[in-house]
Amino acid sequence: MNLRREVAKQLNFIVSSCEQYDKGHHEDAIRIATATRVLFNETKSQRSLIRSHCNRGDIKLRSTTMLNRPDGHEYPDLGFLDLELFTGNFRPMLAKTKRNEPLPFDEWWKEPVLKLEASAGGENVTREQIVLLAADKDGGAHVDNIKPVWYERLSCGLEYSAEFHMASGRKIIVNFKNANLAALRQIGYELLASEELTCLAQK
């Protein structure tokens, strides 16, 4: 197996999916999860491309989440996402986040990136959880009608909404949705900004 070519193939899938997302085809973010799973996820019956075949379990990947950081942003619970108030979309922060820190894979994979509830004791969700759920149950590689409550909360927008009052006196309420897809797009950005990962595809 040509490992360089296989890594490049998966990264090209991520590039393509990011481009489609940015054009408005947000469902393409699910394919980012599928490629990420191939690159990194280990099971009893499946060896990951990076950690096993390339023997790079020590690889460092970029982290951009501001969750639980003292220098957070306007929506601290959203970690590495923003809100587009007039469209009802979550927006991946991409390079606009204040953080761009390389982390060892295990730390990156299991790092909390979003808070599911605004309360102080609200549950956090990790990259590993988002990626594997999207790939295994939300159409990446398989579809499951029953998904965990936390993932449904992401899909339904974490109950974020915005209220606008028009000059005519009419009130418009915008309900946000698909935080899961925006999070996957940001994860795609992090992977493509990880020099150690992209170098594996180039050597």
pLDDT per residue, tens digit, the chain (203 aa), is 688 899 999 999 999 999 999 999 999 999 999 999 999 998 877 888 898 888 898 999 999 999 988 877 788 889 999 998 877 889 999 999 999 999 999 999 999 999 987 544 568 999 999 999 999 987 555 555 677 888 888 998 888 887 777 777 788 787 889 999 999 999 999 999 999 999 988 86
What pLDDT was estimated at residue 51?
Answer: 86
Task: For residue 25, give both structure tokens.
Answer: 């085809």
What pLDDT was estimated at residue 118?
Answer: 55
Give the rounded distance of the alpha carbon of 69 from its chain centre. 18
What pLDDT was estimated at residue 184?
Answer: 98
What pLDDT was estimated at residue 141?
Answer: 52
Q: Please tell me the pTM assigned to this model.
A: 0.90
What pLDDT was estimated at residue 142?
Answer: 54
Contact status, residue 187 vs residue 65, Cβ threshold 8 Å: no
Q: Where in the sequence is the domain holding 176, given as residue range(s)?
A: 3-202
Residues in the chain: 203
What pLDDT was estimated at residue 24?
Answer: 94
Number of domains in the chain: 1
What pLDDT was estimated at residue 120?
Answer: 47
- Give the chain as a 3 state SS string: CCHHHHHHHHHHHHHHHHHHHHCCCHHHHHHHHHHHHHHHCCCCCCCCHHHHHCCCCCCEEEECCCCCCCCCCCCHHHCCEEEECCCCEEEECHHHCCCCEEEEHHHHHCCEEEECCCCCCCCEEEHHHHHHHHHHHECCCCECCCCCHHHHHHHCCCCCEEEEECCCCCEEEEECECHHHHHHHHHHHHHHCCHHHHHHHHC
What pLDDT was estimated at residue 144?
Answer: 56
| Torsion from C-alpha of 74, 193, 14, 126, nearest 10 degrees | -50
What pLDDT was estimated at residue 122?
Answer: 67
Rounded CA separation 108/182 (Å): 18
Rounded CA separation 112/78 (Å): 11
